[in-house]
A and B are shown apart, each in its own frame.
Chain A
Amino acid sequence: QKEVEQDPGPLSVPEGAIVSLNCTYSNSAFQYFMWYRQYSRKGPELLMYTYSSGNKEDGRFTAQVDKSSKYISLFIRDSQPSDSATYLCAMALSNYGQNFVFGPGTRLSVLP
Chain B
Amino acid sequence: GAVVSQHPSWVICKSGTSVKIECRSLDFQATTMFWYRQFPKQSLMLMATSNEGSKATYEQGVEKDKFLINHASLTLSTLTVTSAHPEDSSFYICSARGTTGGFSYEQYFGPGTRLTVT
A binding-site residues for B, Cβ under 8 Å: 8, 32, 34, 36, 41-46, 49, 88, 92, 96-97, 99-100, 102-105, 107
Contact of A88 among B34, B44, B111 (CB under 8 A): B44
Which chain A residue lies CB-closest to B32? Answer: A97
Which range holds the interface residue count of chain B?
20 to 34
Q: Is the CB of B112 within 8 A of A43?
A: yes
Could you list 21 examples of A-B contacts with CB < 8 Å? A36-B109, A41-B91, A43-B109, A43-B110, A43-B111, A43-B112, A44-B93, A44-B109, A46-B103, A46-B107, A46-B108, A49-B103, A49-B105, A49-B106, A88-B44, A96-B105, A100-B46, A100-B107, A102-B43, A105-B42, A107-B41
Contact of B43 among A41, A92, A105 (CB under 8 A): A105
User: Is B78 on the interface with A (CB-CB < 8 A)?
Assistant: no
